[in-house]
Amino acid sequence: MRVLDRKLLRDALRLWAQGIAIALVLASGVGTLILSMGVYQSLDETLRAYYERHRFGHVFASATRAPRTLLPAIRALDGVSSADARVSGAAILDLPDLAEPASAMLLGLPDDGTAGHAASRGLNRVYVKRGQLPEPGRGNQIAINAAFADANGLGPGDTVSAVVNGRRTQLKVSAVVLSPDTIYAIGPGDLIPDDRRFGVFWMPDSELRAVYDLEGAFNQLSVLLQHGADAAPVMEAVDRLLKPYGGTASYGRDNHPSHAFIDTELSELRGMMVVLPPVFLLVTAFLVHMILSRLIALEREQIGLLKAVGYGRWAIAAHYLKLVMIIAALGILLGTAVGAWLGYGLTALYTRFFHFPFLIFRLSPEVFLIATAVAVAATAGGALGAVLRVVRLKPVVAMSPPAPPVFRRGRILPPALAKLFSESTVMVTRHLLRTPARSLLTMVGVSFSVAVMITSMFGLDSVDRMIEVTFHQSERQHANISFHEPNTWRAVNAIQRLPGVLRAEPFRTVSARLHHGHRHRRVAVQGKPDGADLSRVLDTSLEPVDLPPTGIAISQKLAEVLHAGPGDAVRLETLGREQGMHDLKISKVIQGYIGLGAYMSLDALNRLLGEDRLVSGVNLMLDDNRLDAFYREVKATPSIHAISLIRRAMHRFRETIGENIGIMVTTFSTLGIVIAFGVCYNSARVQLSERARELASLRVLGFSRWEVSRILLKEMGFLALAGIPLGWLVGYWLAWLASRGMQSELYQVPFLVEPATFARATVVVLGAVILSGAIVWRRIRHLDLIRVLKTRE
Amino acid sequence: MAETIFEVRGVTRVYHTGEVAVHALRGVDLDLYAGEMVVLLGPSGSGKSTLLNIIGGLDSPTDGDVRFRGRSLGGLDDGGLTRYRRDHVGFVFQFYNLMPGLTARENVALVTEISRQPMTPEAALAMVGLEHRMDHFPAQLSGGEQQRVAIARAIAKRPEVLLCDEPTGALDSHTGVRVLEALTRVNEELGTCTAIITHNVSIRQIAHRVFLFADGRVGEAEVNANRLRPDEVSW
Ligand SMILES: Nc1ncnc2c1ncn2[C@@H]1O[C@H](COP(=O)(O)OP(=O)(O)OP(=O)(O)O)[C@@H](O)[C@H]1O
Ligand SMILES: [Mg+2]
């Protein structure tokens, strides 16, 4: 081995603790990059391939009853590659060992019997996991989605008891399948998939048509566009064609319930990709800069000697670069391993919610190469300044000891000011000011660790607030029941009489498009009775408000996207069964975190539609002690089209989040600790190295170990305590940025950071600071006085 | 007369520190011959180290020229100077300047690894009488031993020139003699042109020629009629 390499190895072994502290920071950067980029890529590629192979549509629309004869016209539209129509419906299920009613979405399968085959011309083609796809005329055969099958232990040959369009039937499972339009399948009123309680059932379309009395017709349309075709003109044409048949506005993939959720996940991964790794890489560069500068300052004479005896400047520069590359290699290896491991974990977690025929985490060579490249760049970038100093160092200058630092009392801390503080505080301040860049960067480093934790964990606070407001102040109903078709008050009274119902409030829902100028959005307008107490509308200061007798109230987000405010005139284009155009004024802008909300008083809505007190469903408050009786009745009442157990959905959501909180807090606290420890420990070690002589002299003069240690520890504590509040600010700001990035028309995540989150971040960082302090303190205790005083500096 | 290795002509060196200009060398002319041993004497600050550094290619003159075997050092860039130092020059410094992280053997190997026709580190250490201390780190060696390692390191590449800046400055007389013996031996056995800076006037007696420095200038060389062996020098 070359002698210089032997020196390298010895240096590396001597600096192992610092090297590892830095490698851990780098590993965090590499790990988060590999995790986010790798999972993103795996998910994105799988999604693309799945959509492609199974012909997931680009444009979707529904209608109340459209003739199948429209299909050729739709297929002939410019930019349309293929179009497929089917019937969809809903069923209430009675599962043997489940008290609550479950529900299912019913979807038609193409009648040609090719639904699952590669040759099928149908869209949203299913993937058959087990069994045989149902065929017409075999009698109530269905295919069920795999998640529901697994959650309920169902498979081909089993039967499910269901109420379909008011008729109780036994459905026979013939196949277990997946489909590209139900990757994320969420039941009515649910916040996350509840596979036990919600299933997707496929039946031959001809049978569904018979059930719903839709012979020769369809109520759901999917359109596949030609490559590169623009969706907007197709959507307009489809809307025009479907309008006479109760068409609701068509929508693209971005509003498709399954795709939109996956897309949200993808953008979260993208967000993680651009925020976390850069922070770690920046801190790595800073740490590398700090310890390499110190090492080179210490080895000035050795560098001069190497130059004097004929080593070229780049050979010496390479020597030091190799040292930091050892750190880089460690960081990359560790980061890749941890990133891949977390990637597998996260992907496995996804498969609980997203159902693909095949989804595995794949660490692709390009992701690995990118991570390696940025890690090497960050390390080398941090080393650059120090290495250039090596290159420029003149051998004669290097061989003579450096000039002592200029120390002018007045300039560093004015004596008048200094008098105000204790002697040791003055000393600490003076030393911190002597290397202002390092002090500042150390402080910033500590603040980053606080900020990383706040940014990563504030989401929990926001979700908590969203739930609190949505389910405890606004949507307080335990469940809601909806009818297949708008119904009269008689139906409300019938439900009021069900066992366990404490309170029932009707509501009316109309799908519509709200126009303001040239802007418009699809909305579901909700009509609420006066004095509604279960499902309340809140104003922007979260106070419940009554809906005015005229006009329409819209949520903040809707107001924002339509550029509309109170008093503005808007046009409401009602769709579906109740086609019409109505001019209205915006009466209020109200709070709402989920979706785009539009509300009217029930009477006003009925008047608008020219109807006489019709309702779409009922919100319910239930007696917890009589739930079983209530559920039994619901299962036995054929007129109930669908039921959402909103309370249960919320609890399940809370539980799932609760399960993940532990993992999240552990992961992000670890990342925070890694930065805080890496920064504080290295900074203290460099301080110790620079001031070992001074401290040793103090010891010789009779200062105790503790008194000597206190000087360094005080400096470290000072920087940490200054860095933490800065971290609160930076974290708050980053969290705000992140929350802006998370806003969509699907969710408006409220922005808030609870004091507990600040406190948690602070405690964790303080722990890391104290740990590095303890390690440095141990080193000071073992300071070899003689050796330190003997070395020339 | 032996071959001329160095021709130093009109070399000046001015340091600018702040507003004051320090004239370390004010026009120095001298020649060094192959195989000779010279001693440079003079008061502190008279420019001895400065000249040695310029001859060794560690520093460049402000004005004037140094020719090594007829080739001007002034024409060399950093890479050229590095190669010149690597191939032709051996340095011994007053403060040894060993690499603390390397053993005696490794400190020597540091140089032999990049030389064209080196001796083995073991042979070089044997020449300075350190064959028993080869695997010690500098911190485990005495000052004199460290200086001898430095000499071994300088001679191991069989340089044509050996430049020693106060090699005995920090040593007692007994150890100093051992170091000088090592230098003399190398000079005799390898024919290395050796220049030694010293404050110890008696050491002048071991040289072929002696140069006296004063205030940045050098007088005529004095030729020693009777050279003494190092152990005959009264310290
Ligand atoms: N890097 C430098 N910057 C400024 N002045 C310098 C520098 N190096 C040397 N000098 C000045 O140049 C003059 C000659 O210095 P040099 O080191 O050559 O003296 P010297 O004869 O070797 O002295 P000594 O016997 O004390 O080692 C001195 O006045 C010194 O102060
Ligand atoms: Mg000198």
ipTM of the modeled complex: 0.87
Question: Of A602, A623, A644, which one is at a domain's C-terminal end?
Answer: A644
- Tokens found for residue A154: 């169902």
**How close is the nearest chain A Cα to the Cα of B177, in Å?**
25
- Helix (H) or strand (E) holding A67, with range, is strand A59-67
Contact B82 A301 (CB under 8 A): no
Q: Is A407 exposed, middle or buried (0-12, 13-18, 19+ CB in 10 A)?
A: exposed
- For helices A365-392 and A313-353, give the axis angle rounded to 10 degrees: 150
Could you say which residues of chain A have pLDDT below 70? 1, 112-121, 398-424, 786-793
Q: What does DSSP assign to residue A409? A: H
Cβ neighbours of A318 in B, within 8 Å: none
| Spatial CA neighbour of A124 closest among A115, A111, A135, A133 | A115
- Tokens found for residue A195: 């596979």
Contact B114 A7 (CB under 8 A): no
DSSP 3-state assignment of A46?
helix
In sequence order, what DSSP letters do the residues of A22-64 get, joined into one string? HHHHHHHHHHHHHHHHHHHHHHHHHHHHHHHHTT--SEEEEEE
Query: How, if at all, do strands A552-555 and A580-590 pair?
Result: parallel
Amino acid A30: pLDDT: 96
Distance from chain centroid for Cα B65: 19
| A562 and A432 inside one domain | no
Triad A247, A187, A265: Cα angle to 5°: 95
Asked if residue A323 belongs to a domain, the reply is no
| A640 and A651 inside one domain | no
Asked if residue A360 belongs to a domain, the reply is no
Amino acid A408: pLDDT: 47
| A92 and A188 inside one domain | yes
| A511 and A566 inside one domain | yes
Amino acid A277: pLDDT: 92
Cα A282 from Cα A276, distance rounded (Å): 10
Instruction: Tell me if A643 sits within 8 A of A103, measured CB to CB.
Output: yes
Question: Of A644, A671, A693, which one is at a domain's C-terminal end?
Answer: A644
Question: Of A187, A213, A239, which one is at a domain's C-terminal end?
Answer: A213
Report domain extents, chain B: 36-62+81-232
How far does residue B63's CA lie from ligand 2's centre (Å)? 20
**Nearest-Cα residue of chain A relative to residue B49:** A396
- Tokens found for residue B47: 């420019």
| A438 and A493 inside one domain | no
**How close is the nearest chain A Cα to the Cα of B164, in Å?**
13
Cα A464 from Cα A756, distance rounded (Å): 13
Cα A677 from Cα A672, distance rounded (Å): 8
Q: What is the pLDDT along chain B (235 residues), one digit of tens a residue?
A: 578 999 999 999 999 877 788 999 999 999 999 999 999 999 999 999 999 999 999 889 999 999 999 999 988 988 899 999 999 999 998 777 888 889 999 999 999 998 888 999 999 998 888 889 999 999 899 888 998 899 899 989 889 999 999 888 777 888 888 889 889 988 998 899 999 999 888 899 999 999 999 999 998 888 988 888 888 887 6
DSSP 3-state assignment of B48?
helix
Instruction: Tell me if A46 sits within 8 A of A359, measured CB to CB.
Output: yes
User: Tell me, which fold does domain B36-62+81-232 have in CATH?
Assistant: Rossmann fold (3.40.50)
- For residue A529, give Cα distances in angstroms to A426, A483, A548, A549, A759: 70, 17, 11, 10, 44
Cα A287 from Cα A281, distance rounded (Å): 10
In the block, tokens 């976390």 appear at A276
| A656 and A757 inside one domain | yes
Cα A588 from Cα A753, distance rounded (Å): 28
Q: Is the CB of B49 under 6 A from ligand 1?
A: yes
In the block, tokens 């200054």 appear at A722
- Tokens found for residue A697: 């002299």
Contact A313 B78 (CB under 8 A): yes
| A618 and A710 inside one domain | no
Cβ neighbours of B93 in A, within 8 Å: 305, 399
Q: A277 - beta bridge partners?
A: none
Q: Please provide residue A7's backbone torsions phi and psi, each rounded to the nearest 5 degrees.
A: -60, -40
Closest partner residue to B99 (CB to CB) among A7, A307, A394 is A7
**How close is the nearest chain A Cα to the Cα of B3, in Å?**
25
Amino acid A114: pLDDT: 61
- Tokens found for residue B97: 């300047």
| A588 and A728 inside one domain | no
| A709 and A747 inside one domain | yes
- Tokens found for residue B126: 């044997």
Cα A303 from Cα B101, distance rounded (Å): 13
Asked if residue A617 belongs to a domain, the reply is yes
- For residue B111, give Cα distances in angstroms to A314, A399, B35, B130, B160: 17, 17, 22, 17, 15
Amino acid A297: pLDDT: 87
Cα B153 from Cα B26, distance rounded (Å): 32
| A496 and A625 inside one domain | yes
Asked if residue A281 belongs to a domain, the reply is no
Triad A765, A769, A772: Cα angle to 5°: 140
Using only C-alpha atoms, what is the Rg of chain A? Answer: 33
- Helix (H) or strand (E) holding A489, with range, is helix A489-496
Asked if residue A410 belongs to a domain, the reply is no
| A620 and A503 inside one domain | yes
B91: contact with A, CB 8 A cutoff? yes
Closest atom of ligand 1 to CA, residue B47: 18
Asked if residue A314 belongs to a domain, the reply is no
Q: What is the pLDDT of residues A198-219, one digit of tens each?
A: 999 999 999 999 999 999 999 9
- For residue A173, give Cα distances in angstroms to A154, A170, A314, A558, A702: 8, 10, 73, 42, 87
Domain count, chain A: 3
- For residue A48, give Cα distances in angstroms to A41, A51, A54, A394, A700: 10, 5, 10, 59, 71
| A500 and A619 inside one domain | yes
Cα A500 from Cα A515, distance rounded (Å): 42
Closest atom of ligand 1 to CA, residue B53: 18
Using only C-alpha atoms, what is the Rg of chain B? Answer: 17
| Domain span holding position A163 | 88-213
In the block, tokens 């001693």 appear at B39
